[in-house]
Amino acid sequence: MFGVTIIPTFLWPEIATSACAEVTATSRHYVDRLFDPDPQNVLQGVIDMKNAVIGNNRQKANLIVLGAVPRLLYLLQQSSSSLELRTECAVVLGSLAMGTENNIKSLVDCHIIPALLQGLLCSDLIFIEACLRCLRTVFISPVTPVQLLYTDPTVIPHLMSLLSRSQHTQEYITQIFAHCCKVTHSSFLGFLTPEHQTVLFNHGAIQNIAPLLISPSFKVRMQALKCFSVLAYENAQVSMTLVNVLVDGEQLSQVFVRMMQRDKPIEMQLTAAKCLTYMCRAGAIRTDDNCIVLKTLPCLVRMCSKERLLEERVEGAETLAYLMEPDIELQRIASVTDHLVSMLADYFKYPSSVSAITDIKRLDHDLKHAHELRQAAFKLYASLGSNDEDIRKKITETENMMDRIVSGLSESSIKVRLAAVRCLHSLSRSVQQLRTSFHDHAVWKPLMKLLQNAPDEVLVMASSTLCNLLLEFSPSKEPILESGVIELLCSLTQSDSPALRVNGIWALMNMAFQADQKVKVEIVRALGTEQLFRLLSDPDTNVLMKTLGLLRNLLSTRPHIDQVMSSHGKQIMQAVTLILEGEHSIEVKEQTLCILANIADGNTAKELIMTNDDMLQKIKYYMGHSNVKLQLAATFCISNLIWNEEDGSQERQDKLRDMGFVDILHKLTQASDPNLCDRAKTAMQQYLA
């Protein structure tokens, strides 16, 4: 029914010499018994094998090397095998799967998944439960390709139909769903693809799993809850549906709220908080809803306390960061809840010398995973400080915070480095912090080092932060300039990633703002005219806008305007023409007309416009455009061309009068927009002076 064929008896595999040393005579004896002609002896052999492998990873590995798996799968699929034998085979396979990741890989390579899925078509409940238990163990391993669950379209509906058979089937199936429902990125910084969520949703996952939230079994309730958290993540369709679901007459959101009560197990509180967080972020629950403000947020803050286990603190902090990321009010509430900002400082001191951990295994685990706490703290600080100046100040004043960020930028873990630079980026939005903490700790140095050799994800965040450090009021701007950053930024503009191209050109735009001639010349030289004009035809509007912004900053102050236009005037005028003639947004065309207005302010550069009748006609067209922003920018351009105090103004005024510009200006003095009206009147006064 699932389109799975019975696996034939396998020949004995060739065993490598090194593996042979590990294989004992006892292990071979267990496998030999699987081939006994007497079915009763085979059954007893499988039962003995089951007892031998419990808790013995070496024995499991030996049996796999000796080829036990293909034979067990063959016996499991044979219709002539007794139900007891088939069930015991499934139990042994499940035990083998509980060994190492290499064991799982071997089982998957032997096609265990299709064989077990085929077994689910049997009517015997005990056999079904054994197959599901083994499938659960295989699928929760990180090395198992989850796509194997979705290969045959009949599998998911059949699993849904088995949910009602027993509490065991409910526990195993929901656990399989929770682990196999992955939301993937289609490309770098691209869109999330909810393919698995959609399949489960379309086959009635919500209706079938919702009643399990009030099951008498804690394990069933817990796995059902985990299912809903993965189904709702970044999924508006699922989240909007969940809001309207009733469980035993009670709204699902209220069921989740009850599960967050302090007397419930921590795992349940945390997972219920994740469900409500994801529903809120997907737009199904308002951020000011009581269930978010009074229940979910405080629950997640509780998870950050030092009384909680490391993994609970990590998950709590990361979920809280995600919940409040787009909402300034939630950030403000969180910042004053249970001293959260100072509580997070403990994440960097863990485990401390006076740690209460007495379990040596737990201490060893936590030492290996302490970097996850630092990563989570940086993420939460980044989210807390993304909008509010007072919160940013509170964060930077937390003990040794800036030193910790600087250390985080050079940690061995790429995830910690990324979280640290996210935190730095969030704080860099503050003018005050740029002028104080950032300058005092010379954060630009480790940031520049990070930019030299990092994955794209880190580069995007690091270059975004650099954009802020290059703003004109930042004391870091000068030392960054002296460090030779221009070449690096120009190389970013050639990236395949639109986000990196935007950041590279954005940083150059900030650098060129009110810069001296030397810096501007160096930018044009390093970028090269070919690349500059390639960026002016970039398909990404953000890249185009920032490139126009750079050009506008390069063409400011008359000596600079005249110098740039004397070297590159022809190409710049061509680029302006192409943009004004093309299918571009109002914002792009407005920025382009502002560049023309700057050119018109040059002493010699303005002649490039005055001698170009085609360009003058375009300006005339935009003065009569229906959009006020474009009218205003075009009028600025004419105003600069006819300004009285400059050489040749009379000739320019005469030419523009003959072309009908005075008539248009006269009409614009009656415009309803006050700014446009004033600009037109100012221009008209040049003719009357």
Four-point Cα dihedral 107, 111, 117, 121, nearest 10: -120
The pair phi, psi for residue 262, each rounded to 5°, is: -60, -25
317: closest CA among 379, 389, 265? Answer: 379
689 CB-near residues (< 8 Å, 6+ apart): 644
Residues 6+ apart with CB under 8 A from 419: 374, 375, 376, 378, 379, 382, 408
**CA atoms of 12 and 640, how far apart (whole Å):** 89
Model confidence band, residue 23 (pLDDT cutoffs 50, 70, 90):
low
Q: Tell me the C-alpha distance between 369 and 359, whole Å.
A: 15
Q: Give 379-397 pLDDT, tens digit per residue.
A: 999 999 999 999 999 999 9
What's the sign of the alpha-carbon dihedral 201, 204, 210, 216? negative
pLDDT-derived band at 5 (thresholds 50, 70, 90) equals very low
CB-based contact 159:151 (threshold 8 Å): no
pLDDT tens-place string over residues 90-127: 999 999 999 899 999 999 999 999 999 999 999 999 99
Q: Nearest CA to 233 among 292, 262, 193? A: 193
What is the per-residue pLDDT across 246-278, written as a single tens digit (0 to 9) for each? 999 999 999 999 999 999 999 999 999 999 999
Q: To the nearest 10°, the Cα dihedral for 235, 240, 243, 245?
A: -100
Q: What is the pLDDT of residues 148-178, one digit of tens each?
A: 999 999 999 999 999 999 999 999 999 999 9
Residue with tokens 């004419």: 638
Q: What is the rounded CA–CA span in Å between residue 466 and residue 480?
A: 9
Please, what is the average pLDDT of the chain?
Answer: 91
Secondary element (H or E) of residue 185? strand 184-185
pTM for this model (two decimals): 0.85
Q: Is the peptide bond before 351 cis (omega within 30 degrees of 0)?
A: yes
Model confidence pLDDT, tens digit, residues 626-684: 999 999 999 999 999 999 877 888 999 999 999 999 999 999 999 999 999 999 999 99
Evaluate if residue 193 carries a pLDDT over 50. Answer: yes
Residue 193 is inside which H or E element, if any? strand 192-193
3-state DSSP assignment of residue 501: helix
**Rounded CA separation 93/96 (Å):** 5
Question: Which residue, 148, 45, 67, 133, is CA-closest to 95?
Answer: 133
SS (H, E, C) 619-658: HHHHHCCCCHHHHHHHHHHHHHHCCCCCCCHHHHHHHHHH
Structure tokens at 613: 């009748």
